[in-house]
Structure 1
């Protein structure tokens, strides 16, 4: 058993059992599994937690129920039991070896309420609720899914997951966990996953019809690299309730850049503008906004609702720091709306073909990448211990990424999770207070 303490002085200690591999409960195909070009650029580990209160019988059975259900759900999602490899084309693919998912049971020495601020990402405390694979030199040597169930003295437990994003986007991840939880309750699967990702193969020959500025390399004339190097990173969560979101939307339409906007558009424009101000970018510094759009319904024909993979495409917009900071927030909101409208079937097919021809990766220099989790119904997941009292990310994928998650009992508020150098964070916090 390994004991992990907290360098920040928190009393939380977690004893992790020996990790085991959980293979599919039945024999599954041992075949190469194709990953589309939309999967290729997102091979990063996403860490999340679900916190469950105890029922009358406590959490004694939680780990076994979740582990047994995992083995059964892997029969339907068998590529997750394989390992990443490189295809003859030099791209990522999955070798369906059936090895299994890494599973760890752990014990915490306190009540779940003692964990502290679970809305703060990049916490050394929260990281103890996710098993970190030892000995893996790179992402190719890591299992595609790692699961840790941590039992607390109060009878509650936390389900921690580390998933490779190349296997699914948020929508597919919800479907997977929902299927997993249904099996845990001895229910039939409400959705059967559609596993064939070859429907998103590039065209022959590839046809690039649009400028794909999501891959544009921006010159850092503001030398933000030095700011990040010499100032410690701070991670904060900001709550935007309905009242504050309504004020933002009113601000966005005041100077007639837009006549109406959604909460997402208003908040995206504000965060882009405020972050630019906080970092003190030079007026002529070009900045790029990227945000993921679900392409499932925008493809022609649409992707199956149960598509298992990444159906997200990056919308993009460019503006100079001067344009963003001299204009009202409505200017940035208009740019967000224009980027959203740009994503059509033709655009998405062009993006797939662009990667096929260039093997480019989106550059994050001078970039803000928004990832929206606020519409994902993770809060409805029920393994038999009722819905989670909390769920959310443990780490930020990159320093340039900002996460939107749902907030409040009615889930109509939005929590903004982000990191900035301490000097910039103080300014950003002030700009939020002024709304």
Structure 2
């Protein structure tokens, strides 16, 4: 059940692009210095040979990078120390791999338990030790039955989750020779003017910052993973329980109830002092929450 890397390619835009430098916004800089991204599994139901043809994927990737050309660049520091994207057409890393000894059906039979999923379906660059890190890595892994896993790893300073999913959808559209809405690269849309507000709404508060440590590499602590499944009746029961006592005119979503349940359970499990003040924060897409709103095609982080 091991993943073997067969080839590592660098895909550049299919035509020369703008060699410019793009300064990161404040929203880009405050996110964690990590790589993030999903793994998609595609089942070869019809047992086709050459399922999800690599050459077609590479050609369409080079095509869509003409619009998303900053992804083919590198991350550097400007003279003032502020991170910038150097759009130099270095290329997106595309890894071709194989996974022996397992099929998609076997993963389904094991209910996609974490322990059953092969390790190494998505690359995680160690950006702390790399001077000019690769911004974007895509891994194409073929299983024994011809099914495919596509793993994505994007430098979080470059793009948020909404932007990544939009890129993936646009890549698919370009593969089908369809038109896309070009991304907006002007990060000055989120440039602060330096004049802070004189009024702070009551729902906002100032919290003393605490150090957040994101482990990169081996740790002495062993981790146990488990998948919890909530049916519709379970979710309704949680929603009714956490909705009790809410004033008329107010409401919570099912997701709010589920997050509250997990947060209470995790807080109890940590066995911390009962007088300790704890906070649960949720990241959200701020494109349509700002005034004026940021266009949905904005390429970058708009995480609030």
Same fold, judged at TM 0.5 (above)? yes
Greater than 6 Å deviation, 4+ residue runs: none
Bigger proportion of residues as strand = 1
Quick check: 2:35–2:124 contact (8 Å CA) kept in 1?
Answer: no
Is structure 2 residue 86 aligned with structure 1 residue 86?
no
Change (3 A) 1:305 1:252: same
| Structure 1 counterpart SS, 2:15 | coil
Cα-to-partner distance string for 1:202-245 (whole Å, 9 max, x where unaligned): 11345585466466238xxxxxxxxxx98632222222232111
Equivalent of 1:130, from 111, 122, 133? 122
Aligned residue pairs total 290
Describe the shift of the 1:59–1:243 C-alpha distance in structure 2 as closer, same or farther (beyond 3 A).
Answer: farther
Cα 1:165/1:137, change in 2 over 3 Å: closer
CA distance in 1, matches of 2:172, 2:194: 40
Q: 80, 102, 114: which is aligned to 2:106?
A: 114
Q: Aligned in 2, Cα 1:214/1:271: closer, same or farther, shift over 3 Å? A: farther
**Aligned positions of 1:30-429 closer than 5 A:** 30-42=19-31, 43-54=33-44, 55=46, 57-110=48-101, 111-115=103-107, 119-120=112-113, 125-133=117-125, 137-138=128-129, 140-189=131-180, 191-206=181-196, 210=200, 213=206, 216-217=209-210, 232-256=222-246, 260-313=251-304
| Displacement after TM superposition at 1:51 (Å) | 0.5
Q: 2:4 aligns with which of 15, 29, 41?
A: 15
> Partners in 2 of 1:168 and 1:269 — Cα distance?
28
Partners of 1:89 and 1:257 in 2: CA distance: 51
SS at match of 2:259: helix
Structure 1 unaligned residues grouped into runs of 5+:
1-11, 219-228, 314-435
8 Å CA contact 1:59, 1:156 repeated in 2: no
- Superposition TM-score, scaled by structure 1 size: 0.61
| Residue 405 of structure 1: aligned partner | none
Q: Is the 8 A contact 2:160 2:302 kept in 1?
A: yes
The offset of 1:181, in angstroms, is 0.8
Question: Structure 1 pair 286/178, CA: closer, same or farther in 2 (3 Å)?
Answer: same
Checking the alignment, whether the CA contact within 8 Å between 1:59 and 1:151 is kept in structure 2 is: no
For the Cα contact (< 8 Å) 1:118–1:126, is it kept in 2?
no
Partner of 2:15: 26
State the secondary structure of the residue aligned to 2:252.
coil
CA RMSD of aligned residues (A): 2.7
The alignment partner of 1:282 has SS state of coil
Q: String of CA shifts for 1:161-205, please: whole Å, max 9, x gaps.
A: 11112222121111100011111222222x221111111001134
Find the residue that maps to 2:90 and give its secondary structure.
coil
Counterpart position of 1:345? none
Match of 1:360 in 2: none
Per-residue CA distance 1:323-350 (angstroms, 9 max, x = gap): xxxxxxxxxxxxxxxxxxxxxxxxxxxx
Give the CA deviation at 1:269. Answer: 1.4
Name the structure where helix makes up a greater proportion of residues.
Answer: 1
Question: CA 1:85–1:188 in structure 2 vs 1: closer, same or farther (change >3 Å)?
Answer: same
1:138 shift after superposition: 2.9
Distance 1:170 1:177 in 2: 11
CA gap of 1:214–1:290, structure 2 versus 1, over 3 A, is farther
Q: 2: CA distance between counterparts of 1:292 and 1:207?
A: 22
Contact kept? 1:59, 1:157, Cα under 8 Å: no
Q: Is the contact between residue 5 and residue 97 of structure 2 (CA under 8 Å) also seen in structure 1?
A: yes
Normalised TM-score (structure 2): 0.85
Shift in CA distance, 89/205, structure 1 to aligned 2, threshold 3 Å: farther
